[in-house]
């Protein structure tokens, strides 16, 4: 039994007229009658009652017609799914890197829309520092990365997302310092910073801010992710300086924030990718990720 036998049967069952069915199938009537006869012989049942006046399905033919309709419905669905997977990406997976110090409220919305466009693609998120993301992007282990400049690679292209100023983060208090007194307030406090080996450029940026405020920070604790830093600050172990965009993410913690927006220091948050990666899902992701 071949697929064409089922298609011929389905067409005759729909029209209950061999000549009309043959016309729809763009074949002559005798070959169509032979194909139906072969199908009946292979099944060992009579599918049609036919005489000079009419063609009708037998009870077995009615049951078989329903089954054939289901077979073609499953075949069409399977074909569509296969095309969706093929169009989504060669591997069927989109691998995205990000850094803990970037709060991206747009990411969830973009991934939700991506799912609607490519419903059968798998998305995987990896928290990695900028340096490790650059290497992973170059080697094809990541498809795209949300990270901070500088991105020292001639193999990657970058898309600016936004420029992020800084803020001072302190334990919650009844009366926090005013902006004009913030430098005096934190000057002698123990500081909690990112580990220098983990994020060297970011570490240097924070040291620069303290120098601009007129002091050298006493770095008492180091961590390699922003979640640990804010937890240590909340516990009263010190203060920190973090990107202003994180304020919304940690607004529910017992923390105080003082903006340093007027300080001429910020970081550039970018979306990086390898231009030789031509997956359609990645192309859609890069095109639709919003810039602030």
Higher pLDDT: 1 or 276? It is 276
Domain ranges of the chain: 3-88, 93-160+268-288, 166-265
Quick: pLDDT tens for 42-85.
889 998 888 877 889 999 989 998 998 889 888 887 887 677 66
CATH 3.40.440.10 fits 93-160+268-288, yes or no: no
Q: How many CB atoms lie within 10 A of CB 219?
A: 19
Split at pLDDT 50, 70, 90, the class of 145 is very high
Whether 118 shows a pLDDT value over 60: the answer reads: yes
At 171, list the tokens: 């334990």
The answer to whether residue 90 scores a pLDDT higher than 60 is no
Task: Please state the pTM of the whole predicted model.
Answer: 0.62
Quick check: 289 pLDDT over 60?
Answer: yes
Q: Does domain 166-265 have CATH number 3.40.190.10?
A: yes
Render pLDDT for 241-275 as a digit per residue (tens, 0 to 9): 998 888 888 888 899 888 887 888 888 889 999 98
Q: Is the peptide bond before 150 cis (omega within 30 degrees of 0)?
A: yes
pLDDT of residue 240: 93
On the question of pLDDT at 105 being above 50, the answer is: yes
Nearest Cα to Cα of residue 9 among 36, 44, 27, 29: 36
Residue 39: which pLDDT band, with cuts at 50, 70 and 90? confident
Q: Which tokens belong to 90?
A: 């060669």
pLDDT in tens, 214-248: 899 989 998 888 889 999 999 989 999 998 888 88
54 Cβ neighbours under 8 A, 6+ residues apart: 16
DSSP-derived 3-state class of residue 191: strand
The CA angle 109-110-114, to the nearest 5 degrees, is 120
Sheet holding 240-243, edge to edge: 240-243, 166-171, 255-259
CATH entry, 3-88, from 3.40.50.2020, 3.30.930.10, 1.10.10.10, 3.30.1330.120: 1.10.10.10
End-to-end CA distance of the chain: 60
Check pLDDT > 50 for residue 174: no
Q: At what angle do helices 280-288 and 105-117 cross, to 10 degrees?
A: 140
Task: Tell me which residue of 190, 271, 194 sits closest to 227, measured CA to CA.
Answer: 194
Distance between CA 172 and CA 162 in Å, rounded?
A: 28
Q: In this predicted structure, what is the pLDDT of residue 279?
A: 79
Domains 93-160+268-288 and 166-265 share a fold: yes
Q: What are the respective helix, strand and coil percentages of the chain, to the nearest 5?
A: 45, 20, 35
């Amino acid at each position: 039994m071949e697929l064409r036998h089922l298609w011929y049967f389905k067409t005759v069952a729909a029209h209950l007229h061999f000549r009309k069915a043959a016309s729809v199938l763009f074949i002559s009537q005798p070959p169509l009658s032979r194909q139906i006869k072969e199908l009946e012989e292979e099944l060992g049942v009579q599918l049609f009652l036919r005489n000079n006046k009419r063609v009708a399905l037998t009870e077995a033919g009615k049951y078989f017609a329903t089954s054939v309709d289901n077979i073609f419905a499953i075949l069409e669905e399977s074909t569509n799914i296969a095309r969706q997977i093929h169009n989504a990406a060669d591997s069927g997976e989109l691998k995205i890197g990000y850094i803990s110090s970037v709060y991206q409220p747009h990411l969830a919305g973009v991934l939700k829309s991506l799912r609607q466009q490519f419903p059968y693609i798998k998305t995987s998120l990896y928290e990695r520092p900028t340096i490790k993301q650059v290497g992973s992007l170059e080697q094809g282990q990541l498809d795209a990365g949300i990270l901070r400049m500088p991105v020292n690679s001639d193999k990657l292209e970058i898309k600016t997302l936004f420029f992020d100023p800084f803020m001072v983060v302190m334990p919650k208090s009844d009366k926090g310092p005013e902006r004009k007194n913030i430098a005096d307030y934190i000057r002698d406090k123990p500081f909690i910073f990112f580990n220098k080996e983990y994020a060297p450029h970011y570490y240097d940026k924070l040291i620069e801010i303290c120098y601009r405020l007129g002091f050298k920070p006493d770095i008492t604790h180091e961590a390699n992710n922003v979640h640990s830093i804010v937890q240590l600050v909340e516990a009263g172990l010190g203060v920190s300086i973090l990107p202003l965009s994180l304020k919304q993410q940690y607004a529910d913690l017992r923390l105080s924030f003082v903006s340093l927006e007027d300080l001429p220091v910020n970081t550039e948050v970018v979306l990086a990718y390898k231009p030789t990666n031509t997956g359609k899902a990645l192309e859609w992701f890069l095109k639709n990720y919003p810039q602030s």
